[in-house]
Amino acid sequence: MELKKKSDLIRTFVKGGFLSPADLLRIMEISKDLGNKYIMFGSRQDILFPLGHTEEHKLERAFQSIHMSYELGSDQSVYQNIVSSYAAVNVVETTPWVKEDTYNVITDSFDYRPRLKINVVDPLQSLVPLFTGELNFVASREKNYWFLFIRDARKGNTIECWPRLIAGQDIPKISRALEDLFMNFLPFTTEELYMILKNDQVKISYKPISEKLKIPATTFPYYEGLNAMLNSQYWLGLYWRNNQYDIDFMSAACRLCQETKISNINIIPWKAFIIKGIKSADRIRWEKLMGKFGINERHSSLELNWHLPVVDDEALELKRFLVRELDQHDISTHGLTFAIKTNRDVFPFTSIVISLTRNLEGDRYTILYAKDFNPTNGFYYTYAHQIKKEMIPVLLIELSKFYFRQLNPEKEVQREEMIEPLSGKPLIYYQCTNCLTIYDERFGDALSGIPPGVDFADLPEHYCCHVCESPKKHFSAVSSRQ
């Protein structure tokens, strides 16, 4: 079946991004029964596959048998999957008290289908992005207590911290209460939301925030191949270039997990999956399985560190072109991640974004990079504007060199990104609500002829975003605490 858009797919919700081999095997069977040869992974740790000739009553019975929910076609924007960093435990460094069971308990406690995007994540890992949800629960140093950061697209995707730490067992309760407010009312500040819930006597266990969130400046991990875990076992990460995972191989992998007593399979937002807990004695069985199906398990970092929209052949072809060009120049991209953005609704979570716009002269691209090349900042600067496809590789090479030049080894040892939840003097920026471009008066806007030092209020009324050409009224004030 030829796929034209995401609405041609069935979307399967995998709470927390982990599921049993038996459940994944059943999903393979459902997809195969619809005439498919593959399944795909979404950026919110969900599973997608073509609709085929669907008899919805049979489909509903099949999903009920594994106690999982799904959506069809145009309904896919109604509900959201809960994202977690379960996959990172014992694979990379994580907060000591945050274990796999921690995520199990929280995700199992959700007794409703969220309409808001919810992330439950550990700040020490970089395998799963922290702030791509609308409600982002980030582990604190206080055992069983979490920060909550709210991202509201109606306020220009600014990120605000809840004024108290929240107990893990209350994450589902506060998520549901906040969802009702989001769906029915205008935007609030976090302080206002806190007071509304307090006045409504929503019982939440809180703790005062004694220190701001600290995020170490970690590099993006290599997530493919057979690797040693932190507990003397092994984990296997597998990635397909086209995000079309062969059902026969996936089914065989599920059965091998069952035979070797592996309890869960983990989906990560980079459209790949990880199997944890492989025993030393079983390594050869996995190597033989991958050999039988001709699986390549050692793609370069340049190939892996990309985020693309689902079912977007144009974005996939652009990525292939850029990887080929950069590979020929032997350019290192270690520590960098890339995204190709083809619509305005995508919230980026990579260090470099290549954004497509169309006009009468043909396709043009804008290259953005995150402040300090750290996507957790949420602030992006424009590196090049409205360029042709052929210019992108050259500019990415320049930008990667710029990234390595700005690294300071002594600074990196001590540097931590501070997310300030308490009072403090904010540095005000103005951000385009359509494409997230930042106007910072310290730098001005050279492409629009605006010199450094010009306050946003003093910009001419005809000023517009140099990336998407949105008028000045579409910029919102946001703050970054120093």
Residue 57: the pLDDT is 76
Decide yes or no: CATH 3.10.20.30 for domain 6-80+221-299: no
Condensed to tens digits (0 to 9), the pLDDT of residues 155-186 reads: 777 889 999 999 999 999 999 999 988 877 77
- The closest of 429, 432, 434, 433 to 444, measured between CA atoms, is 429
Mean pLDDT of 233-256: 95
CATH number for region 303-418: 3.30.413
Higher pLDDT, 295 or 413: 295
pLDDT in tens, 16-27: 999 999 999 999
Question: What residues form DSSP beta bridges with 429?
Answer: 478
Check residue 87 and give its pLDDT.
97
Is the pLDDT at 270 greater than 80? The verdict is yes
Q: How far apart are CA 290 and CA 324, in angstroms?
A: 25
Q: For 431-455, how does the pLDDT look when each residue is reduced to its tens digit (9 = 90+)?
A: 887 766 778 787 777 667 788 788 8
To 10 degrees, what angle do helices 247-259 and 283-292 make?
160
> Are 120 and 107 contacting, i.e. CB atoms less than 8 angstroms apart?
yes
Tell me how far apart the alpha carbons of residues 161 and 165 are, in angstroms, rounded to a whole number: 10
Q: How far apart are CA 339 and CA 337, in angstroms?
A: 7
Q: What pLDDT is stored for residue 52 in this prediction?
A: 73
Distance, CA of 51 to CA of 4 (rounded, Å): 12
pLDDT tier for residue 481 given thresholds of 50, 70 and 90: very low
Q: Where are the beta strands (DSSP E) in 263-414?
A: 265-268, 272-278, 306-307, 338-341, 352-359, 362-370, 380-387
99-129 burial: b if 16+ Cβ within 10 Å, else e: ebebbbebbeebeeebbbbbbbbbbbbbbbb
Find the angle CA(51)-CA(53)-CA(55) to the nearest 5 degrees: 95
- CATH class name, domain 423-481: mainly beta
Average pLDDT over residues 405-420: 54
Q: How is residue 28 written in tokens?
A: 């393979």
pLDDT score at 344:
63
The CA-to-CA distance between both ends of the chain, in Å, stands at 52
CA 299 remoteness from chain centre: 21
Sign of CA dihedral 19, 23, 25, 27: negative
Show me where the domains of the chain are located.
Answer: 6-80+221-299, 92-216, 303-418, 423-481
Q: How far is CA 85 from CA 93, 304, 323, 335, in A?
A: 11, 18, 28, 19
Whole-angstrom Cα distance, residue 305 to residue 335?
9
pLDDT of residue 108: 95
| Paired sense of beta strands 118-121 and 82-84, if any | parallel
**pLDDT for position 97:** 97
The C-alpha atoms of residue 433 and residue 157 are separated, in whole angstroms, by: 7
Residue 482 pLDDT greater than 70, yes or no: no
Residue 140 phi/psi, 5° resolution? -100, 180
Q: Cα separations (Å) of 10 from 171, 247, 429?
A: 28, 15, 40
Report long-range pairs for 403-412 (Cβ below 8 Å, ≥24 apart): 403/335, 403/336, 403/351, 403/369, 403/373, 404/332, 406/372, 406/373, 412/217
Q: Are strands 9-12 and 225-228 parallel, antiparallel or unpaired?
A: unpaired
User: Using CA atoms, how far apart are residues 55 and 301, in angstroms rounded to an integer?
Assistant: 41
